[in-house]
Amino acid sequence: MSEYIEHNADGPSVGLVKKETFTFDEGGSGLTLDSGRTLPSVTLAYETCGTLNEDKSNAILVCHALTGDSHVAGYYNEEDPKPGWWDLMVGPGKPIDTDKYFIICSNTIGGCMGSTGPMTRNPETNHPYGTSFPVVTIGDMVRCQRRLVDHLGIDTLLAVAGGSVGGMQVLEWSVRYPDRVRAALPLATTTKHSAQAIAFNEVARQAIMADPTWNKGDYYETGRPEHGLAVARMVGHITYLSDESMRHKFDRRLQDRVELSFDFEADFQVESYLRYQGNKFVDRFDANSFLYLTKAADYFNLENQHGEGSLVSAFSRASCRYLVISFTSDWLYPTYQSKAMVKAMKKNGLDVSFCEIEAPWGHDAFLLPNDRLNGLLSGFLNRVSNEITGDK
């Protein structure tokens, strides 16, 4: 997902925000991961906005997608050229309203935006882990987020929300910690990757590993695999767009020329766009983290990990309300996958709302302005919040 998609920063903003960090070591014994390996300590970079109320009942955890980070809304400084990746949704008077709710967003473990990952120095060697870093899972990410929520003194989250790989984390939260989540909002997501989704991720990983500067992940002191990472991003970016959106944005229009060049430069606008997206991505992301995070997404399988192969059994662990949203043109995580999870939720008698939103822009639709999406999110959160208030 193209987390830092270009958009106008419409509406009021939360203003200046600060990246914070939280470090834990599981009481000195380290953090044992799903792989069986142990990290001696874990640091999470995180951001908060809004105000936590007195009884700490208004906290919403927002989970970022594949290559996102903790910067969900607002600006780091007055000169910041763009706001956080979901500034359209998070802010005063916006669907996730910071006048009402306390928002938390953390960078996932395995990432490269302040949380422990392959770029982190291994305390045993004093060099970056590289590919000696253990493989992490969506479950590992959520367990770390739970420790952050504990650190903030919050017993129960009003809601957990996120799209794409962030939606996987939402689903994991709802079945792993059912007593700590009142509502879950998984958007444009799935309970497990299809073979096609795994295939695209594998091609992207191979592009990185085929770059001679990758050096089996040990490149931090010799030079990054920039070309491989750029190609990996180009591959991924294709999956975020729909056929219709690509026709609308580019069709077969030429880039800065009136006729074909008959060489291997970027003749077409779509070629130039993908090269631009790949090169821009290299400036902000780590190639090894891309490998680890795509593998975590591929490994995610809610029905196997929590239901012994049954999605109905997996959701029997849940007790929260759900708002599940898919988009008509999302072919990466198509609507049939959302309908399958909704069916399994309803078989367990859970309170489920589902909507397939008409949108032509593909998987990225949840990042773009959409009045229907705004109304669904704000209405659902108001309902959950009002029910809590009525219980008091």
The Cα 1–Cα 233 span in angstroms is 10
List the beta strands (DSSP E) in the chain. Answer: 20-24, 31-32, 38-39, 42-49, 59-63, 90-91, 96-97, 102-106, 121-122, 127-128, 159-163, 183-187, 321-327, 352-357
Q: What is the DSSP letter of 47?
A: E
- Active-site residue identified among 164, 242, 338, 385: 164
Region of residue 343 (phi > 0: left; psi between -120 and 50: alpha; otherwise: beta):
alpha
Strands 102-106 and 183-187: unpaired
Cα within 13 Å of Cα(384), Cβ side: 29
Catalytic site includes residue 71: no
- From the annotation, which residues make up the binding site? 233, 364
Specify whether the CB–CB gap between 377 and 96 falls below 8 A: yes
Amino acid at 68: G
Closest C-alpha to 140, from 361, 318, 295, 4: 295
Centre a 10 Å sphere on the Cβ of residue 215 and count the other Cβ atoms it contains. 16
Closest C-alpha to 70, from 39, 104, 38: 104
The Cα 230–Cα 281 span in angstroms is 7
- What angle is formed at CA 293 by the lines to CA 50 and CA 353, rounded to 5 degrees? 55
Catalytic site includes residue 363: yes
Centre a 10 Å sphere on the Cβ of residue 243 and count the other Cβ atoms it contains. 11
- From the annotation, which residues make up the binding site for substrate? 233, 364
- Active-site residue identified among 289, 330, 338, 385: 330
Catalytic site includes residue 261: no
**Residues 6 or more apart whose Cβ sits within 8 Å of residue 280:** none
The Cα 325–Cα 219 span in angstroms is 40
Residues annotated as catalytic (active site), given as ranges: 164, 330, 363
